Chain A
Amino acid sequence: MSIKIGINENVKINAIEINAKGTLEIELIDANEVKKSLFDASLTAATNKEGITRRLLFFLPNVAKDKDGAEAKTQEKKLQLISADFQRLIKQLTQIASQWLTTENIALDTIENQWAGTGVVDGPTFEERGLMEAVVKQRYDNIVKRFVDIMTKNGLVPSPEPIRFKLIRQAADKAFPTVPGSYLDEQPFIELMTIPKAQSRVKFSAYELTAGLDSDAPMAKDKSEKKSSSTGTTKETSEANPFA
């Protein structure tokens, strides 16, 4: 089974790490497969199954830049945009961890866990410093490092049990599997396989179906105006083609 756009059943989180560029990576694997070492995989190169793993990247949110010719965004607007990006990141990671951990033990959004070392302690300091590159980077590092910490220290990597994981198309013109980023409370993207299919809440929303976000099929250009709900936060890297 290859991990792709759709509702992937019986997968596991095989690895969670912060890569050399400081970006959080989560590797999914087909729970029925055993990942071989690179050397072992070389000995069966001709018959290795492709797509049994999928690497998901959770990028550092970018401070919105003014485009040439476009109306300059206000400070307030930029703060709103960066806040929305971080909220999406925190909700995505919290939803993953919440399959096994309580809210109290996750706590990615507390002031101690999120804003440590940034100099941001309240609203005024957020407005003053919230768009600084170093602050954005530190905030991101705090969140992802805590996520890696709580998942690994609680024995959740690799996943102790199989999960159901929804990946959607990144955009109409980008058939990359990506993690949903909107309405996650109402439309979760992950749950344990111990929840029977009949009770599953991991489903494609009406919007996602209408926009074709449930499919990796080539889409007509006239749909390129539609946007995915998680643009810019994740990027697919297939193990079969790491340079994709």
Chain B
Amino acid sequence: MLDFLSKITVDDTVDKKPRSGGGKRKQVTPEGLAIRIFRDGSLYPSQELIAKFSLEYSAKDTEVVGFGFDVVDTDLFPKFGTPQRLVIISPVSKSAPKVDLFGTTNYITDPEEGVVGSPTASVATQGSKTFGADSLIPLLEEVYGLKFYKPATETEAEVEGADFYDLSLVANPSTDQPWSFSVAHVPKKVSRGKDKGSVTTIRRENVSFYVLYPATKPDTAENDADQKEEVTTEKSEVTA
């Protein structure tokens, strides 16, 4: 059913090597309709994505709340018929419960810090890590074989891999539109309480799903040698 994926063309001109913004500052903004995920789980949407899906945070108590994303493993969602396992993503109102990405922020409460009620961070630079680290990275590793760099610890050896990946949102190339459902019961992992880790469902209406697909692929043995020197240099510059 999704044989079209073999015909997906993503921007393969994106440099496969992790980039450094110079000094200790991460270069966080990807291009196109994409999300950049770093090895520490921090996530950054592109400006195009922010504009298209109204991801930016609004002032507190405003009527226009904007959108975040649900992230779904198709293995848990049989209603999305696909011959191979994928990660799919759907825009959902920030006011909905259990929004996985870009759903919440803090607000200024002290007038000395700024306008009271304003978001403390922009969605473009917020870089929330919890969902990325706890859920999305393991999922990406499992579904797409992505390899994130992990430094050596007292108990574990260093793991070679990338400092970040760019993940593109891909619509149905046959229609240039996402896959839509009037009603969908989206699987969600319980994050707290006695049922933590189990999977439940949450009902969503008028949902549209995109495939979330890596725009860059894991380094292969063929290009490892070429990139090794540069990657080694850049790792020392990138702040986790």
- Mark A residues whose CB is within 8 Å of B: 98-105, 191-192, 194-196, 198-199, 201
Contact check, A199 vs B183: say whether CB atoms are below 8 A apart.
no
Binds A, one of B30-38, B116-124, B158-166, B201-209: B201-209
Mark contacts of B189-209 with chain A using CB atoms, 8 A cut-off: 1 yes-contact digit, 0 otherwise. 000000000111101011000
**For the complex, is B182 an interface residue (Cβ under 8 Å from A)?**
yes
Residue in A100, A102, A195 whose CB lies within 8 Å of B201:
A195
B185 interface contact, C-beta 8 A: yes
Contact B187 A101 (CB under 8 A): no
B182 near A102: Cβ-Cβ < 8 Å: yes
A98 contact from B76, B187, B200, B203, Cβ within 8 A: B203
| A102 partner, pick from B199, B200, B206, beta carbons under 8 A | B206
B92 to chain A, nearest CB (A): 14
> What is the 8 Å Cβ interface bit string for chain B, positions 60-100, against chain A (1 contact, 0 not)?
00000000000000001011000000000000000000000
Shortest C-beta distance, A30 to chain B (Å), equals: 21
Q: Tell me the complex Cα distance, A198–B199, Å.
A: 7
Q: Which residues of A contact B205 (CB under 8 A)?
A: 102-104
Given contacts A102-B205, A102-B206, contact A199 B200 (CB under 8 A): yes
Q: Are A199 and B199 in contact (CB under 8 A)?
A: yes
- Nearest-CB distance from B76 to chain A (Å)? 7
Q: Tell me, in angstroms, the Cα distance from A101 to B206 when the chains sit together.
A: 10
Contact indicator B79/A194 (Cβ below 8 Å) = yes
CA distance A123 to B155 in the complex (A): 69
Contact in complex: A100, B199 (CB < 8 Å): no
Given A201-B200, A201-B201, A195 contacting B206 (CB threshold 8 A): no
CB of B200 within 8 A of CB of A100, answer no
**A161: nearest residue on chain B (CB-CB)?**
B79
Residue of A nearest to B188 (CB): A199
Most A-side CB within 10 Å, residue of B76, B198, B201: B201
Contacts of A100 in B (CB 8 A): 182-183
How many Å lie between the Cα of A244 and that of B101 in the bound state? 54
Chain A residues with CB under 8 A of B183: 98-102
- Chain A residues with Cβ below 8 Å from B206 are 102
Known pairs A191-B185, A195-B201 / 5 extra A-B pairs, C-beta < 8 Å:
A101-B182, A194-B185, A195-B185, A199-B187, A199-B201
Least CB distance from B190 to A in Å reads 10
- Residues on A with C-beta less than 8 A from B199 are 196, 198-199
Interface class of chain A by DSSP? loop
A161 to chain B, nearest CB (A): 10
What is the chain A residue whose CB lies nearest that of B202?
A201
CA distance A99 to B182 in the complex (A): 10
- What is the chain A residue whose CB lies nearest that of B201? A199
Cα of A101 to Cα of B185 in the assembled complex, Å:
12
Tell me the minimal C-beta distance from B81 to chain A in angstroms.
10
In the complex, chain A residues whose CB is within 8 Å of the CB of B78: 194, 196
Beta-carbon contacts under 8 Å, B197-231 to A: 198-201, 203, 205-206
Q: Which of B12-40 contact A (CB under 8 A)?
A: none
**Using Cβ atoms and an 8 Å threshold, which residues of chain A touch B187?**
199
Docked Cα-Cα span, A201 to B202, in Å, equals 10
Give min CB distance, A196 to chain B, whole Å: 7
How far, in angstroms, from A24 to B109 measured CA to CA in the complex?
54
Closest 3 CB pairs of A and B: A102-B205, A199-B199, A194-B79
Residue from B76, B182, B183, B203 having most chain A Cβ neighbours under 10 A: B183
In the complex formed, the residue of B with least CB distance to A104 is B205
Q: Which of A102, A104, A195 has the most CB of B within 10 A?
A: A195
Q: Shortest beta-carbon distance, B106 to chain A, in Å?
A: 29
Bound together, the chains give a CA A99 to CA B79 distance in angstroms of: 13
Which A residues are CB-close (under 8 A) to B76?
196, 199
What's the Cα separation between A96 and B203 when bound, in Å?
Answer: 13
Chain B residue nearest to A102 in the complex (CB):
B205
Bound CA–CA A196/B200 (angstroms): 9
A191 surroundings in chain B (CB, below 8 A): 185, 201
Can you report 12 residue pairs joining A to B where beta carbons are below 8 Å apart?
A100-B182, A100-B183, A102-B182, A102-B206, A194-B78, A195-B201, A198-B199, A199-B185, A199-B187, A199-B200, A199-B201, A201-B200
Collect the chain A residues with CB atoms within 8 Å of residue B185's CB.
191-192, 194-195, 199
Set of chain B residues within 8 Å of A104, measured between Cβ atoms: 205
